[in-house]
Amino acid sequence: MIADDAVSVPLVEPDAEGVAPDLRRQVQQQRLGELVDRLLAAGGLQAARLADSGVTGGADVSLDSLGRLPMVTKRDLWEHYPHGLRAVPAEDVVCVHGSSGTGGRPTLVPYTAHDVDIWARVMARALGGAGATRRSIVHNAYGYGLFTGGLGVHHGGIRLGATVVPMSGGMTERQIRMLVDVRPDILTCTPSYAIFLGEAMRAADVEGDSLRAGLFGAEPWTNEMRVQIERLLGLRALDIYGLSEIIGPGVACESLDSDGMLNVAEDHFYVEAVDSDGDPVPDGTPGELVFTTLTKTGMPLLRYRSGDVAVLAGPVPGAPRTLRRMSKLLGRTDDMLVVRGVNVFPTEIEAVLLADERVSPHYLVVEDRRDAARPELRVAVEPAVTVDEERLAGELDAALRERLGITCVVRVLARGSVPRTEVGKARRFARWTGGEAPLAGID
């Protein structure tokens, strides 16, 4: 495992990742003007909204006044599904990706060859930041398909010149076999699958001692989960963030030297953080991330409201990477629970649970709204070791009350009770409005 936090890793694209911030801002400004011209020329929703705001060309828009322009929301994408926000002729599209998304409504994103090239570049940077080189072997266990995880890492690994092992998700036995036989140094998958894989390797008495770093994302995870993954797999666990609407993974990624935050590829994806009224929040204050795809052509988005909440910050002082950084995601605007007047993000619950070494990373948070007047948070955990279950439940309840300011109903269930996710994103949160309990033993 790479343990030294003071490590510095070479930049894959020094001209982009390492330039002085004021030079980068000039590039962003120029790209913003070009983007606005592209959107106006394409017509449709974004062009109409720009025209309504009095914008007649790229020259009318500056980064300083960007906050005055209208935002695009997920609802806009749904209402124009499947191809309504495409900004190029159909023959220029080389692939589509997307996600099933919240509420099961799909989002479909068209990519031009130029977009795939940008994606490959930002993903190559992300892998490079984790210490990957041309000599690296990348075991890629993100799902291949419409989901952007598998192919995003794939494009980036190839661009970097590394060897990609395109495992996709699931078939854990075969994954373990490849980890042992091919000896990759980089692992890419969801954090929950990293745990699953690590536990399966431990159960099979196999050590993946070639692994040095992993890029884990696509679902929320905390620093407490990071400790568990690093312990299980003996690697440095880094966070990678992205969303299909913007490009997929690679919008932002931690590097070995980014001090626990994620470098935003802001030369391609300009980021703002705003409050619930859409007003900017200062660095260090949690806000909803709003992205502008400065260079994309297939489905460029001006000021896309991501629903993801994080804190923004400048680069690490004196570090070679001069990109702005974002924190790990704190949550989503739509998954914030308001229970008896208290705002809670599920990640805060995870942080409390996994800070306790007796608790395994398999848990489920249930928002119990069967009685609308008396909503309750129920938390199912599994012990990682043999424990006094009643005592553990009591102590977790006290720790959750201390951190969140509300009482939760904690249930310690037998190992294996909480469903595992081998393919796709983990489901660690459920809403219970009536009928059968989402998990046996949670009531």
Size of the site for ligand DLL (CB under 6 A): 21
* Closer of 189 and 404 to ligand DLL (Cβ): 189
Collapsed DSSP state (helix, strand, coil) of residue 334? coil
The minimum distance between CB 54 and ligand DLL, in angstroms, equals: 31
* Closer of 12 and 40 to ligand DLL (Cβ): 12
Tokens representing residue 345 in the block? 């993000």
Based on the number of CB atoms within 10 Å of its own CB, is 301 exposed (0-12), middle (13-18) or buried (19 or more)? buried
The minimum distance between CB 441 and ligand DLL, in angstroms, equals: 28
| Length of the chain measured in residues | 443
Residue number closest to ligand DLL, CB atom: 217
218 lines the binding site for ligand DLL (CB under 6 A): yes
Query: Which listed range, 9-17, 144-152, 202-210, 400-408, lies at the site for ligand DLL (CB under 6 A)?
Result: 144-152
61 lines the binding site for ligand DLL (CB under 6 A): no
Residue pair 398/355 in contact by the 8 Å Cβ criterion:
no
* Closer of 218 and 379 to ligand DLL (Cβ): 218
Q: Which residue has the tokens 């990609």?
A: 164
Tell me, residue by residue from 251 to 270, as one string, x for binding to ligand DLL by CB under 6 A and - for no binding: --------------------
* Closer of 297 and 306 to ligand DLL (Cβ): 306
The minimum distance between CB 58 and ligand DLL, in angstroms, equals: 28
Q: Which of residues 286-315 bind ligand DLL (CB under 6 A)?
A: 306, 308
* Closer of 172 and 306 to ligand DLL (Cβ): 306
Handedness of CA 138, 144, 290, 284 (dihedral sign): negative
* Closer of 216 and 432 to ligand DLL (Cβ): 216
Cis check: omega of the bond before 82, within 30 degrees of 0: yes
Tell me, residue by residue from 230 to 249, as one string, x for binding to ligand DLL by CB under 6 A and - for no binding: ---------xxxxxx---xx
Q: State how far the alpha carbon of 15 is from the alpha carbons of 20, 322, 326, in Å.
A: 9, 11, 21
Q: Which of residues 152-171 bind ligand DLL (CB under 6 A)?
A: none
Residue pair 307/333 in contact by the 8 Å Cβ criterion:
yes
Establish how many alpha carbons lie within 13 A of residue 117's alpha carbon, considering only the half-sphere containing its beta carbon: 8
Residues 6+ apart with CB under 8 A from 204: 176
Tell me, residue by residue from 65 to 104, as one string, x for binding to ligand DLL by CB under 6 A and - for no binding: ----------------------------------x-----
Q: How far apart are CA 344 and CA 338, in angstroms?
A: 6
The CB density around residue 426, as the number of other CB atoms within 10 Å, is: 22
Q: Which of 302, 262, 323 is nearest to 27 (CA)?
A: 323
Rg from Cα positions in the chain: 22
* Closer of 144 and 437 to ligand DLL (Cβ): 144
- The footprint of ligand DLL (CB under 6 A) covers 99, 142, 147-149, 217-220, 239-244, 248-249, 306, 308, 329, 332
